[in-house]
Structure 1
Amino acid sequence: MADPFEVRMRFSSQLEHLNASTTSAQKAAQYALKYKDMDEDLHSCILEQLEKTNMNTRANIMYFIEHLLEMASKERHNDYVRMMQRDIIRVVDAVCPENGSGAANVKVVRKVLQGLQNKLILLERTVVEIEGCLKERDTSANDFSLSSPLNSNEQSGPPASTTDQELGGPQATQRNGANMKPTRRQIEQRIEEDRERHKRMRESMWVVPSNPTDQAIKFFAETSDLGVDDNILGKEEITAFRILIRDAACRHKSRSNQEEWPRPRTTNGVARHI
């Protein structure tokens, strides 16, 4: 039997090093399912990492949660699903806190919640309630933008003290404050990760499901709602189709008449016309 402390430390390390690739999220999810007998400890480890890591890592963990719950539900291990349903509010509060420090993660949370709802892991009522809270936290880009830290330092006023510099600057002492800004490295990392996710999303749009039912569901989900213009266009197409069928039938009928008249007959090997 594996050492619980070692399993926890390795899982924490995997969560800290998550990136935008699907492979890293699936690898961590497979590790969690491998040691599903320690599901409570690993679930608490997810919550701890969400509360102490930076903004980009929290976004990556949020995407990882979607992979974990999807794989857990397929393998009939509902304990992870049940615990995440219970603590989903705590997860959202950690990924995008009320102080505005996680405003850039609001879209990430919405996307993951919508995906979990489509997979029937979260109830629609739960997602609607969380959406009401996210609207208040979805601040404008001026309130919390991924702008260059150099611009923010120019407006920060007096220089930081020695104690602040040891702790990572004055912003590090305000982890729970609304003025916490990301570093230049975090901004560049987030841009690269978002670019990778958008690239993968565009590639997934061209993937054709192997199951015909899944393909039909995909077509139905991508089809827009029926409007007034669609009804008018449909009636015009039906009218044109009926005219085409009628004209084709008339030409076929006239051609048949021409072939039938005059019609030669043979009597005792001698052809004659009637």
Structure 2
Amino acid sequence: MDPFQLRLRFISTLHRLNASLPTIQKSLSFLVDHPSLHAQLWDCILDEFRSGSISRRINLLFLVDAIFTDDTLSSSIRSLFRPYLERDVYLLFDLAVPEGRWDALLNVPAVTKMLGAWKTRLVLEASVIEDLETMLSVRKTALYTLSPGQRASTLLHPTDMQRRIEEDRERHKRLRERSWILPPTAFSHQSLFGTRPEQLDPTYLTRKQPASPREQREDTDGDRVWSTQDLDFSQMWDETSDFNDDDVEGIVEDEKTGWLHQPPPPPASAPAPASAAQPVFAQPPPAQPPRAPASMRNAQRA
């Protein structure tokens, strides 16, 4: 088929895209069936981003999210679109939550949850995710400062609002299902199943999550196997701050509470001397239980 006709068919598929999973899967299958036209297909997504409404943009952003988080797609498809995502990620989020539009606040919760999922799955570098979170926070604060007139000019139509409620319910359900799935790291698999994935296959995560660009640059020889321990260590290394004065103070406080700095225990006390013998008094005999029932005893007393 001619590339121009394929472009028209893909645009028609994007026009029918909504929050439901079948429409997203249909768009993904189009990307998988035509990998040679990845540049043109990505341009179609960007064009629809620029010309679409607020609700349409969030649907397209979830399509981009599915490209990099859907487990049914192969790593080769993701590698084709990863350079485009790294190049246009700020543009995509700027269009998803544009400034000066009150209805853009509708996309903020979904975009925030999407960034959290990307951070867990290592879709982008941690610094890029932090920049996007900062941009989203600043944009949200600026939207709340809009005047009442600006807010009223960008409100959704009641019909569009009803459709948006249904789509948000569908997206929230999918995001909740995704949050229940732990990332395939060594810690999560060991705590859940008792067996680390690298015990079965050392390159388990290599097929799922490639190493970050910084890690690939450090691998000058190109022969390092990126196992689950490497990815876990890299993530913890990026999230841990540098060694500073607070760490030194914490070490000093821990040393003070250690057993080496504790005072020695007091010596064992000598046994108390035996006290003088106390006079023993005769104890009264214990009371014996009655040998007859109460009715007979009362009758005898009468």
- Say whether the 8 Å CA contact 2:120–2:183 is kept in structure 1: no
| 2-structure distance, mates of 1:47, 1:135 | 23
| 2-structure distance, mates of 1:210, 1:118 | 10
Instruction: Please give the per-residue CA displacement for 1:27-66, whole angstroms capped at 9, x wherever unaligned.
Output: 1012112111111111111111011111111111111111
Q: Indicate how the Cα distance of structure 1 residues 197 and 11 shifts in structure 2: closer, same or farther if over 3 A, else same.
A: same
Alignment of 1:43-192 (within 5 A): 43-71=42-70, 74-77=74-77, 78-100=79-101, 101-139=103-141, 179-192=153-166
Q: Indicate how the Cα distance of structure 1 residues 201 and 83 shifts in structure 2: closer, same or farther if over 3 A, else same.
A: closer
User: Aligned partner of 1:185: which letter?
Assistant: T
- Which consecutive residues of structure 1, in runs of 5 or more, have no partner in the other structure? 145-154, 157-170, 172-176, 220-274
- Say whether the 8 Å CA contact 2:97–2:107 is kept in structure 1: yes
| 2-structure distance, mates of 1:216, 1:96 | 39
Q: Which residue of the partner structure matches residue 213 of structure 2?
A: none
Shift of 1:104: 1.4
| 2-structure distance, mates of 1:84, 1:206 | 26
User: Aligned partner of 2:35: which letter?
Assistant: K
Alpha carbon RMSD of aligned pairs, Å?
3.4
| 2-structure distance, mates of 1:217, 1:66 | 28
Shift of 1:103: 2.1
Q: TM-score, structure 1 length as denominator?
A: 0.59
Q: Which residue of the partner structure matches residue 27 of structure 2?
A: 28
Q: Indicate how the Cα distance of structure 1 residues 203 and 83 shifts in structure 2: closer, same or farther if over 3 A, else same.
A: closer
User: Aligned partner of 1:109: which letter?
Assistant: V
Q: TM-score, structure 2 length as denominator?
A: 0.54
- Which consecutive residues of structure 2, in runs of 5 or more, have no partner in the other structure? 194-302
- Say whether the 8 Å CA contact 2:57–2:96 is kept in structure 1: yes
Classify the secondary structure of the residue corresponding to 2:76: coil
The reply on whether 1:196 has 2:197 as its aligned counterpart is: no
Aligned residues: 189
User: Aligned partner of 1:189: which letter?
Assistant: R
Q: Indicate how the Cα distance of structure 1 residues 124 and 5 shifts in structure 2: closer, same or farther if over 3 A, else same.
A: same
- Say whether the 8 Å CA contact 2:31–2:38 is kept in structure 1: yes
| 2-structure distance, mates of 1:118, 1:89 | 19
User: Aligned partner of 2:5: which letter?
Assistant: E
- Say whether the 8 Å CA contact 2:17–2:24 is kept in structure 1: yes
| 1-structure distance, mates of 2:81, 2:184 | 28
The structure with the largest alpha-carbon Rg is 2
Shift of 1:210: 11
Shift of 1:185: 1.6
| 2-structure distance, mates of 1:214, 1:178 | 48
Instruction: Please give the per-residue CA displacement for 1:134-160, whole angstroms capped at 9, x wherever unaligned.
Output: 11221599768xxxxxxxxxx97xxxx
| 1-structure distance, mates of 2:36, 2:170 | 34
Instruction: Please give the per-residue CA displacement for 1:43-100, whole angstroms capped at 9, x wherever unaligned.
Output: 1111110111111111111111111123597332312111111100011111111223
Identity %: 29
Q: Indicate how the Cα distance of structure 1 residues 209 and 129 shifts in structure 2: closer, same or farther if over 3 A, else same.
A: closer
| 2-structure distance, mates of 1:213, 1:116 | 19
